Structures are given as C-alpha cells and as structure tokens.
Structure 1
C-alpha cells in the first residue's frame, strides 16, 4: 500500500513539473523567432467569459471550463513521464 502511494505521489510530481516547466518554456520562447512554435497553443472547453448558466431562481450556477495545452507542455510532459519511468522503478 505504501509503495503505491509513493509511486502515485512521484507520478503526480513529475506530471505537474512537466506541465509547469512546459508553460514557462512556452512563455519564454513566445517572442523568439525560431522557437516561437513552442508557444503554439490550443484551447478546448466552455469559455469562462461566457459560461453556461443554470438559473434556479433561488441560486445561479455558472459552469465554465477551459483547457489550454501548448507544444512545449506536450514535450515536457513526455520527458517527465520518461524520467518518471527511469527514476521510479525501485519504488
């Protein structure tokens, strides 16, 4: 049980590190001429500027969700998963 918990925490750490590092790289490379493609992103979801609203007279619920992924994040997440597989074999 403890081994699974350690592996799950390590997996989440590597995944989060890949996402954050990819975001930083994309922001840094957005103005660089030959590395600007790393900042290319795609957004999917319900726009938070115009969310879906459920009005139940007593209260209103607003639903909005946007997922934005860029090229640098994809590369960094793949690299993080490879690093996870190489480093966490003994856990």
Structure 2
C-alpha cells in the first residue's frame, strides 16, 4: 500500500469512527451497549491508533537541521533513548 493509500485508509476509518461515535456515546449514556459492541468499538479505536502511530513512526524527525529517525542512537530533547518525549494524550504527566 502506498503512502497516499495508507493516508486515505486512515482518513476513511477516522470518518467512519466519527460517524459511529454518536451512537456509541448514546449507548454509553443509556447503559445499553452489549459487551461485544463496546469491545468492537474499542478495537476499532486501537487499530486506528496503531495505523496512525505506524505512519508517524515512518515520518522523519528534523532536529537542528539533521534528520533523526527512531533507529538513531542520538537522543531527542528530554530523552536519552533516541525517541521523542511526547506528552501524555490523556494528561497523566
């Protein structure tokens, strides 16, 4: 799959999940979702997150004009393992 095709697949799945979110929220509020419905929605979110992360991991990082990737032995600011120091997306830092 080309980079463009991968991007379009991510955008389509994001759109589909966004469209399904209203029904999911209603089910959560009404406590009417089955176990399977909750697990299936969660798995869709996980798969989408994994696709987005895989795409991001292939994106070059430029620091001080030098391209650094995840396999570099050179650390990015705030870390000693060569990885970026990303903020916690749910605010647990």
Where on the TM-score scale, by shorter chain, does this alignment land: which range?
Answer: 0.3 to 0.5
Normalised TM-score (structure 2):
0.32
Which gives a bigger RCO, structure 1 or 2 (Cα 8 Å, sep 6+)? 1
Relative to its length, the structure with more strand (as a share) is: 1
